[in-house]
Structure 1
Amino acid sequence: MGPEINFLDRPSTNEVPSENEFPQIRLLRQECRAGIDAIDKKIKGLIRQRKLLEEDLERYDSLLSPVKWVPDDVLSTIFEISTITWHQQIDNLASTQSERIRQNPPTIIASQICKRWRQLALATPKLWATIYLVPPSHPRMNTWPYKKQQELDAAERMWEAKMKQLLEIILPLWIERSKQQPLSVVFRLMDINNGTDNEWDGDATSVATSSLLYTALVNLACTVAHRWKEIDLDLYIHNIPAVVTGMLVLAPGDVPRLETISLQTNDLRQQNPSFAPQGLFMGQSLRSLSLIRIYGPWAQLSVNWEALKELSVGVKGAVMGVAGSVGSSIERVLGPCETLLLLRMCPNLEHCEISVTSIDKENTDWQAAKRSEEEHGKSVRHSRLRSLRFHGSLPSVDLLSCLDLPSLQALHFLGLHLDNLRPEHRRVQSQRLLNAINRFGSQLTDLRFNLLVPFESSDAVVSCFQNLPHLFSLHLGGTAPKPRSFRNTELEVAESTANFLLNLLTPEIDDEGRPYGSMSCPNLKRFVSTPMIKGFTEGQLLEFITRRSLSPTTSHIARIEQVDVALGVPRGMDIRSELKLRGVDVDRLMLRIQYVKRT
């Protein structure tokens, strides 16, 4: 045992080393430090060695990665799907998020991963066929971040540099890489001011410079108008014609491929149509038109109305013909006469979505509608219309009575403004809904309405729902009313309606478990209820699903396939497990239940 052991034992005592022991202790300490340094050196070497081995491991893993074996055509399809999904989501983001994320679309990311991916991305023109012309916001529209004039001037110069990059590099590059693919072009031309409204905190030079850059951008996009397949125009500008002149002068022959147009304008000071293209809407390939916010008479727009198969007016954010896609009603709504005029002008529609009101306004479009009514009568027949969506208000009884729609299958009432209606007006909405179901119920396969519409008579509801023999999908929509003392009755009515409807749709069964008696909606396969209210209990929902899951060989009702509900109560049971115990084949059931959180 070396003498150092005695030294190491001493720290736990009060013994003080002698003067002769100090050199020996220092020598032992140096040996310990040298040993530690040697070990640290070995550790660093091992860490470096480990890092090298990890890098080698990553290379080997990369060689064995399944994506290496994905064929080019499959990988290219994956790129295309990711790009489509990104385009569908980008407009739902806040402007700051949208501007940041739009700078790195999947197309760019895929082309920067590796040599193979880049070659594949560049060899797939379809990836470059959707072009976003969404300039960044001009700094003079929001000057509060800049404390000094020099900072604002520098930000403006940076904005001009970004615009020139978009104009001279990015847009030409995407056009070139898209080859001869049909193009989808999104125009978001906003934040331009004519310098007279003092919104800029700047001079006329800034306005003129930005207008010239926007105009050049539009003109460059118009050079490939013959390849446009879809265009989405959001023109939040004060002097539309000056900026989009190149678009306004296009002739029908200049847009031979154009199938889909979405137009939203916000020219607040123009009473006449400020966006009045000569031939943009007259192309022979035009099939889908969405007029979101239009100032001035829409009926005077030059549109190839007879070619349209899809039409949306006054609704933003919906994709016509796509299940689950729901827009929101905004400013422009049509009265009954305007609605009939619009439908009469488009005899070949298959999908239609309109924001309506029950009162006509005596404007230019109303006058045109009255002349059309005098010439053709009130009745409008659409032999091809399969899907009809109303926003804003339920259509009046008189309006629906004028519609002859033998092919109608889907009828949706969305975005109804019920919160501020008086009780008598809410009853009118109820009568209109029941009238619509009675009018078209026997041919409907898809019905959606606001659960907050009160039903005055349970017998009338039973009669209506027994008139839905082919209904495949029922969606009870709306949002729960806010808990305010004078609105408690609205919530109670909605909860009572939901409870009543679920009981109505739950088959009666005999002692042997077989359904009997008259059955409402015998072909129902999809049930959705989105308001977070205490409309029905978990037990009622369990019973509904169980009885709707009976074997078709032993019952005359269809097997339920999808249930998506919101329950205004905390979770009390595992409904899926309970269904299994009852013998329900849950693997064939899409079940989604939302609960309120426990407090």
Structure 2
Amino acid sequence: MSVKDTPFFEHLDTNYAPTEEELPALRNIIQGNEEILTDLDAQIRALTDVRNARADFVQRHFALLSPLKRLTDDVLSTLFLALLDHPDNRHAKMSNAHPAVVLSHVCRRWRQLALDTASLWTTLRIHLPVLPQVYPYGARSANPHMAAHSPLVELTRRWEKEVEKILTMTRVWLERSKECTLTIDLLATDVTSQEQDMSPKADTSGLTALIEAICDASRRWKVATLRLSTTRFTSIDSPFRRIFTLAEDDVPLLQDLTFSVDASFGIHPEEESLIPPHRETGMLGGRSLHSVSLGTICVDINTLPIRWEQLTDIQFNGYIHAYTPDVFPGGTGHGLSFDCTQALNLLRLCPRLVNCDLSLVPYSRPLESFGTVSLPHLKSLTLRYSVPGMKFVSCLQAPSLRKLVLPNFLDTGIPNEHAAESPESSLIAWLEAYGHQLTEIQFNVSTLTPAGLRSVMNLLPHIKTLRLDHNGDGASFPPTPNGDQVLPMPAMVDELFLGQFIEREDQGNDEPRGPLWFPRRGGTTFTEQDLLEFGKAGQLREVTEGDLMAQLEEMGIDVSYVSRIPLRPEPVYPDDF
């Protein structure tokens, strides 16, 4: 029908008021069309139902064409494992959102296949919540009934329920993994203070049961990361006692172990309560162990029951300091200190090392006639906090070394009576010995002079990966007088430095130019565009004027205040500034 067919066409959308005689005709028109609308709505609903049924019919038949339905179980399980190995899922903790659980909820076939694929359940990443504690001043004088009404009571009950939930999931994972080797990642805290009256007492039986369940499967451990925090170290009191008392026969398949115990809440002088690991930590002597990572320890590392000769990877964070005889029986008069001498002694015990990461104290005893330490397989070496000097380098033979990391965050760059060599000369000594064979390096520029930085770069002809660290923004302050001598300005990554990464054909003979750094990358020339991308990735902070810097700004790269490394040489201030 057309709107023109109505006798009221000329009055529609106007302010016209119908007369009394016109009202019956107007109501008849409305009623007739409302009946037609009701009929049309019914037809629409019926057609919609037919349409939805037809679409569902098509979709259910179309699903039969899915390639996934034609995949065999072995191919599908391989895809399951590939999903689990995706970077987004590698560190997934046990939960209902874990990829293995999600896969098992898709359909009946997928669930059965997921349950039959034991490798999906072999990684137990258990990060327990921290037990809530309070440390109020004057807790003993507080109202003893406050704890019953404190929100911490509810938090403690929630902690207990969360531990029970994790315990249940752990048992499920262990059952579904069948007899496969396991990867254990345990982060757990047991912080219970006996002196804090306002702290509600938690039931730690769930935590103890969890540790027991994990250790019951220790014969299947292949990779174990154990990061524990506790105030109780004895085999009697600690909820982690089962871990501390595992013997080498309990972990016959263990190949990779990361073990650290944070004991910052309490230290006991009795020898039997020494913080693990120590000589009684039997799992360190595993027959298959080839990779060990240790946090700070309180005993001489040489007393640990590790089979050093079979290690290929080691990381050691040094000693807990101030363990003197009045604190621990048998301690040295000056406390344990992991210096260059101890580092070389340790390296000599590990002839098969491939990767090594050690934390050194900044000051070391002199190395006199130490002899040669040969590490023919060593490819990666990290020496944290302090850079050993020429004598250390001369004792080391590492013909396969390709990666060198020297963060050097404790050395200040200021010569002193304790340091035989400056950090700059120590770094240059390393590169004179190994720079020609390195492909990856990391070092701290805050301890280098501009000339020293150029010397370092000139000793790296084959580097593919370069990382420059910095201690902070201290280099942006004016030079500080040291007696009558002004400290040298630290090295800066400026346009002149960056320019030596680019090969310029139009450079005039009168322009100063050092050797070209890294002129080739993958068989192609390292272009100015590559350098622009380098600047974009590094988010440069301050740069000098020039064509390169103008292009950086045109690309929308913020060159004002982003990085912690100052890129423009600072002005030299007068002595009376």
Candidates 272, 275, 278, aligned match of 1:273: 275
What TM-score results when the alignment is normalised by the length of structure 2? 0.72
Distance 1:544 1:137, change over 3 A: closer
Is 1:104 paired with 2:97? Answer: yes
Is 1:475 paired with 2:466? Answer: yes
- Answer whether contact 2:191 2:230 (CA < 8 A) is retained: yes
Partner of 2:424: 430
C-alpha displacement of 1:218: 1.4
Partner of 1:42: 43
C-alpha displacement of 1:150: 8.1
- Answer whether contact 1:380 1:403 (CA < 8 A) is retained: yes
Q: How does 1:124-203 map to 2 (within 5 A)?
A: 124-138=117-131, 149=149, 153=153, 155-167=155-167, 169-190=168-189, 192-196=190-194, 198=196, 201-203=199-201
Is 1:308 paired with 2:305? Answer: no
Distance 1:226 1:440, change over 3 A: same
Identical counterparts, % of pairs: 24
What is the distance in 2 between the residues matched to 1:8 and 1:333? 101
C-alpha displacement of 1:414: 3.6
C-alpha displacement of 1:70: 4.1
Where does the alignment leave 5 or more consecutive residues of structure 1 unmatched?
Answer: 92-97, 316-331, 361-365, 512-516, 528-539, 547-561, 579-592
Candidates 200, 218, 222, aligned match of 1:229: 222
What is the distance in 1 between the residues matched to 2:89 and 2:3? 78
C-alpha displacement of 1:502: 4.5
Structure with greater helix share of residues: 1
SS state of the match for residue 200, structure 2? Answer: coil
Distance 1:457 1:38, change over 3 A: same
Distance 1:282 1:340, change over 3 A: same
SS state of the match for residue 35, structure 1? Answer: helix
Partner of 2:295: 292
Partner of 1:441: 435
- Answer whether contact 2:208 2:240 (CA < 8 A) is retained: yes
Partner of 1:356: 360
C-alpha displacement of 1:13: 4.6
SS state of the match for residue 457, structure 1? Answer: helix
C-alpha displacement of 1:107: 1.1
What is the distance in 2 between the residues matched to 1:596 and 1:199? 54
Partner of 2:540: 568
C-alpha displacement of 1:137: 3.7
Paired residues, number:
502
C-alpha displacement of 1:201: 2.0
SS state of the match for residue 7, structure 2? Answer: helix
Where does the alignment leave 5 or more consecutive residues of structure 2 unmatched?
Answer: 137-145, 269-273, 319-335, 481-486, 508-512, 562-577
What is the distance in 1 between the residues matched to 2:120 and 2:358? 33
- Answer whether contact 2:502 2:527 (CA < 8 A) is retained: no
- Answer whether contact 1:505 1:544 (CA < 8 A) is retained: no
Candidates 107, 112, 115, aligned match of 1:114: 107
SS state of the match for residue 354, structure 1? Answer: strand
Q: How does 1:372-521 map to 2 (within 5 A)?
A: 377=370, 379-414=372-407, 416=409, 421=412, 428-457=422-451, 461-462=454-455, 465=457, 467-469=459-461, 471-478=462-469, 482=473, 486=477, 495=492, 497=493, 499-507=495-503
C-alpha displacement of 1:310: 0.2
C-alpha displacement of 1:217: 1.6
Distance 1:388 1:15, change over 3 A: closer
What is the distance in 2 between the residues matched to 1:494 and 1:68? 62
Query: Residue type of the partner of 1:37?
Result: T
What is the distance in 2 between the residues matched to 1:280 and 1:158? 33
Distance 1:25 1:137, change over 3 A: farther
Distance 1:156 1:384, change over 3 A: same
Distance 1:184 1:340, change over 3 A: same
Query: Residue type of the partner of 2:184?
Result: V
Distance 1:451 1:195, change over 3 A: closer
What is the distance in 2 between the residues matched to 1:422 and 1:563? 27
SS state of the match for residue 105, structure 2? Answer: coil
Is 1:596 paired with 2:558? Answer: yes
What is the distance in 2 between the residues matched to 1:339 and 1:153? 48
C-alpha displacement of 1:124: 1.3
- Answer whether contact 1:185 1:228 (CA < 8 A) is retained: yes
C-alpha displacement of 1:423: 6.1
Query: Residue type of the partner of 2:282?
Result: G
Distance 1:381 1:480, change over 3 A: closer
What is the distance in 2 between the residues matched to 1:520 and 1:570? 23
What TM-score results when the alignment is normalised by the length of structure 1? 0.70
SS state of the match for residue 295, structure 2? Answer: strand
SS state of the match for residue 6, structure 1? Answer: coil
C-alpha displacement of 1:257: 0.5
Greater alpha carbon shift after TM alignment, 132-141 vs 440-449: 132-141
Cα deviation, 1:381-435, whole Å, max 9, x if unaligned, reads 22221211222233333433332223322212247468xx466689933222222
C-alpha displacement of 1:378: 5.5
Cα deviation, 1:205-238, whole Å, max 9, x if unaligned, reads x2xx21x322222122112211110111010121
- Answer whether contact 1:266 1:295 (CA < 8 A) is retained: no
